[in-house]
Amino acid sequence: MRFRVSQELRQAVGTEFSLELRRGSLFLDDQVALSDLEGSARLLRTDRGLLVSVRARALIGGTCSRCVSPLQSPIEFNLEEEFIPIVDPVSGAHITAAEAEESFVIDAGLTLDLGEALRQYALISSPSKPLCRPDCAGICPTCGANLNDGRCTCPPRIDAGWEALAAINTNDQEGS
Ligand SMILES: [Zn+2]
Ligand SMILES: [Zn+2]
């Protein structure tokens, strides 16, 4: 998501601008993609560059944490970052690497690329254990069948993990 900001950078400190954000899809990494991204960005000219504030919502792709079927989870996120131009928009002089190090940068063509910042903030906002539906039945640990499609033919089994956990809880109660 790239925006030319050469005009914005020539304005006085304190000048505000706004941008509409709308994108059908945006890849976050090899596996995760955002879709239906919608939002708005406010750009504020600072003495160093542009302070960008974004409010956005999107669908983020993923897999159900119980049955591993693909799903899309709605997310909302806000982002606020200062973007520093690597060249001075008026004089064309390059700013020092140290100044640019901790910040997002606006490239030498005075194009601001929101993609990396959106990627970082969207990934932080993505649910850690998404479910395809609140009552997802998961997969059978024995045969791997998706139990949302109906019961498999495996005999019912006692889960050793739950038994062990129950024993730990009992010990805790005895100790206190
Ligand atoms: Zn599921
Ligand atoms: Zn089974």
Same domain, 92 and 6: yes
Residues around the ion ligand 2 (C-beta < 5 A):
140, 142-143, 145, 152, 154
CB 126 within 8 A of CB 60: yes
**Tokens 């995760």 -> residue:** 32
Q: What is the pTM of this model?
A: 0.74
Same domain, 87 and 143: no
CA–CA gap between residue 103 and residue 95 (Å, rounded): 12
Same domain, 147 and 112: no
Distance 63 CA to ligand 2 centre (A): 20
Q: Hey, how many other C-beta atoms are within 10 angstroms of the C-beta on 5?
A: 23
Tell me whether residue 172 is in a domain: yes
Same domain, 106 and 150: no
Same domain, 31 and 88: yes
Q: Which ligand is nearest to the CA of 143?
A: 2
Tell me whether residue 176 is in a domain: yes
Domain that holds residue 12: 2-125
If one counts the domains in the chain, the total is: 2
Same domain, 114 and 147: no
Confidence (pLDDT) at 5:
95
Same domain, 88 and 145: no
Distance 149 CA to ligand 2 centre (A): 12
pLDDT tens figures, 119-175: 889 988 888 899 999 999 999 999 999 999 998 988 876 665 665 565 666 555 554
Q: Side chain identity at 41, as an amino acid letter?
A: A
pLDDT of 111 > 60? The answer is yes
Same domain, 73 and 154: no
- Bridge partners of 58? 75
Distance 123 CA to ligand 1 centre (A): 20
pLDDT tens figures, 22-38: 988 887 777 678 899 99
Enclosing H/E stretch for 140? none
CA–CA gap between residue 118 and residue 14 (Å, rounded): 24
